[in-house]
Structure 1
Amino acid sequence: MQQKELKAYQVGNNDIVAHYSPQEARAWPIDFAGYAEDDIELAEVELVDDRRLDLPVVDEEGAQCGTLRADLASATEPALLLSWE
């Protein structure tokens, strides 16, 4: 049986999650972050492009924390990769 590949999806305006499909990525903040079912439309979920995967992630203090691609590669299950307000 072939294992599904995790991909990075931006969900709404504030979250990037690793998941297997846009539908499952949409469900992540609803299931784990307390969003209401109608807070996020499927149209608000988009695959993160290669350019964004390779940009350095910077924390609140301005320190570089690697890239989304590195975080995605180390993920072994669906997870929140990045969130901001």
Structure 2
Amino acid sequence: MQTKAAGSDVPRYYQLMLQQDLLGGWMLFREWGQQGGRASTKREVYLERDAALRAFEHARDAQLKRGFHVMFAQGFDGPHTG
């Protein structure tokens, strides 16, 4: 996800990735920052897919409310932004 460039402001981005680990759990990776600048990351571990998917959707929806726009989606059923 990315914000639109406004004047001289550098666009910000927020990336979410959900991935199954080797033991059957799920990891939600988050990365955010300004394009061309420093990035911050966070990793959360979930035992069940449904809990991980709910966390992913909650994080996505929160960023959409903050003005981010989906730029690229891959996996599952794609984004549900409605």
Q: TM above 0.5, one fold?
A: no
Query: Which is helix-richer, 1 or 2?
Result: 1
User: Larger radius of gyration, structure 1 or 2?
Assistant: 2
Q: Answer 1 or 2: higher relative contact order, Cα 8 Å, separation at least 6.
A: 1
Q: TM-score, normalised by structure 1?
A: 0.28
